[in-house]
Amino acid sequence: MGSRLETDFLIVGAGIAGLRAAIELAGAGRVLVVTKEQLGESNTNYAQGGIAVALGGEEDVELHLDDTTRAGDGLVNKTAAAILVEEGPLRVEELLEWGTRFDREHGELMLTREGAHSRSRILHANGDATGAEIGRSLLQHARSIPNITLAEWRTCEELITDGDTVIGLVLVTRDGERQTVSARAVLLASGGAGQVYSDTTNPAVATGDGIAMAWRAGSEIADMEFYQFHPTALSLPGVPRFLLSEALRGEGAWLRNSRQERFMERYHLLLELAPRDIVARAITREGIGASPGDTLPVYLDMRQVTGLNLNQRFPGISSFLREHGLELGRDLIPVRPAAHYLMGGVKTDVHGRTSLKRLYAAGEVACTGVHGANRLASNSLLEGLVFGARAAAEMREETSFSARMEALPEHTLPEYTPVRRTSTTSPQPSPHTPPVADLAASIQHTMWVKAGLLRDRQGLEGAAEDLRDIAAAIPRTNTRPAIELCSLHAVATLIVRSALAREESRGAHYRNDFPQRDDVTFQKHSVVSGDGRVQFVEE
């Protein structure tokens, strides 16, 4: 039996949503923030381009709402999107007060533009390290508040429920000790799941643990078929899919195919600044070679950009490229899409409430429907701030009458049952089970090939079959790699089931066998319930 902790508010994840929520909650009780690695290691830290915000008054806010809605391809939850753009400026003002240093020119905040934005409204920091700067300032602020405890190297294993109420969770420390934490309310702010695909811009920690835990506990999960693939990750053999920010195209970069033609005019009027899903599919199509499996290179070209010091404007990107012998203003940079951001997640209302009592979610792990089928560039950091603060306000409100801490009896430390609800059979690992890393790689490969940018029934059914086979081999241990493997398996299962059910193409979800958007049947959100059934529901 491991140790037992108690807190008022438990937050899983120390990215932008988790830290913003912690700051909001600190006046109402003890806040424990747990994170899987060292503080700072989250998707937030790797966000390059910036944070979109309408600082120019009412008309600007309206335009931001229009752009967000249009990019989301008919599926944006309008209430959530209105909240995002209206509350965004206030949340960004707070960041400035707490010491976030956005880039300025002659004292004025600098603004850039990215895909599908009708004007320049994206703040950036240190050129191309916006998330890291916001994370730094939020962390510094959170550290100055005595009620907040930040705990590193904790892998969350399972939520603990009492009926349909979440009363805490089980986590595993770096030393392998299992701990139970009881709390008056739990916030999932655990970020995305890019590691479910072999090609991703996300760090290794992005394994979808929050979504998997919530699903296993019976929470509804929504819109999982909508995985955003960033169009331009670096494509060099043996080199990670390093993000090449959309801001490069915002500052004038072009895309060229293997014949060095600028091709985006064949796909969208906005050319390189078309919505992300359209650019990503265009690059994929231009990269298809003559025979099956053949790929052709596609390039980002900044050689024509003048009047901008590229090394100064994009210091992080320039220095990474230089390590690989490439210069932004001199060379064609080989690119390809990579999994970047999950629009779906734990279904919440605009207050972060999930379908389980006392369980909340905010940021990438959550699905308010704010991004619809395709997120507008640089809206994700804003989402974390706005909905992190809102979820925290709701947690404070809803728990203010229930100050009594639920005692967790000894026997509630649950048995570890990792693949519960991800398979219809009860898997029995064979004595020749492959290593966890190989199983994770199989999931990633299957998802990339069969449930990636371009999908069809045959491929998705093949992926479902692969996932059933892999489920049978998942070990019943609770090491961090094994827990993450279960998370990847659950997330992959949710994506495949939802993608099979949506027989149309919309936003980031493209079905070769159903290439049209079908508003009559599918202008709805997919919801997977605890038992694994997929339903489509109106907003």
Q: Which residues bind ligand SIN (CB under 6 A)?
A: 47-49, 245-247, 340-341, 377-378, 380
Please, what is the minimum distance in Å from the beta carbon of residue 314 to ligand SIN? 10
Whole-angstrom Cα distance, residue 2 to residue 373? Answer: 42
Cβ proximity to ligand SIN, 112 vs 179, nearer residue: 112
Burial class (CB in 10 A: 0-12, 13-18, 19+), 303: middle
Cβ proximity to ligand SIN, 48 vs 198, nearer residue: 48
Within 10 A of 315 (CB to CB), how many other CB atoms are there? 15
Please give the single-letter amino acid code of residue 462.
G
Provide the β-strand partners of residue 526.
536
CA atoms within 13 A of residue 264's CA, in its CB half-sphere: 24
Cβ proximity to ligand SIN, 208 vs 275, nearer residue: 275
Q: Which phi and psi (to 5°) does residue 494 adopt?
A: -65, -40
Cβ proximity to ligand SIN, 136 vs 353, nearer residue: 136
Q: Is 276 a catalytic residue?
A: yes
Cβ proximity to ligand SIN, 179 vs 200, nearer residue: 200
The distance from CA 185 to its chain's CA centroid, rounded to whole angstroms, is: 22
The 3-state secondary structure of 18-78, one letter per residue: HHHHHHHHHHHCCEEEECCCCCCCCHHHHCCCCEECCCCCHHHHHHHHHHHHHHCCCCCCH
Cβ proximity to ligand SIN, 50 vs 418, nearer residue: 50
Sign of CA dihedral 435, 441, 445, 451: positive
Please, what is the minimum distance in Å from the beta carbon of residue 247 to ligand SIN? 6
Please, what is the minimum distance in Å from the beta carbon of residue 379 to ligand SIN? 7
Please, what is the minimum distance in Å from the beta carbon of residue 86 to ligand SIN? 20
Whole-angstrom Cα distance, residue 518 to residue 535? Answer: 16
Query: Which residues have CB under 8 Å from 131's CB, separation 6+?
Result: 16, 43, 44, 45, 46, 47, 48, 381
Residue nearest ligand SIN, CB atom distance: 49
Please give the single-letter amino acid code of residue 334.
P
Q: Which residues of 278-290 are buried (b: 16+ CB within 10 A; e: fewer)?
A: bbbbbbbebbeee
Please, what is the minimum distance in Å from the beta carbon of residue 148 to ligand SIN? 27
For residue 65, give both structure tokens.
């709402």
The 3-state secondary structure of 251-305, one letter per residue: CCCEEECCCCCECHHHCCCCHHHCCHHHHHHHHHHHCECCCCCCECCEEEECCCC
Cβ proximity to ligand SIN, 67 vs 157, nearer residue: 67
Which member of 20, 249, 276, 353 is catalytic? Answer: 276
Please, what is the minimum distance in Å from the beta carbon of residue 378 to ligand SIN? 4
Cβ proximity to ligand SIN, 33 vs 381, nearer residue: 381
Please, what is the minimum distance in Å from the beta carbon of residue 279 to ligand SIN? 11
Please, what is the minimum distance in Å from the beta carbon of residue 380 to ligand SIN? 5
Whole-angstrom Cα distance, residue 367 to residue 494? Answer: 14
Whole-angstrom Cα distance, residue 339 to residue 444? Answer: 11
Whole-angstrom Cα distance, residue 474 to residue 472? Answer: 6
Please, what is the minimum distance in Å from the beta carbon of residue 341 to ligand SIN? 6
Q: Which residues of 329-356 are buried (b: 16+ CB within 10 A; e: fewer)?
A: eeebbbbbbbbbbbbbbbbbbbbbbbbb
Cβ proximity to ligand SIN, 245 vs 354, nearer residue: 245
Whole-angstrom Cα distance, residue 10 to residue 160? Answer: 12
Which residue numbers are catalytic?
276
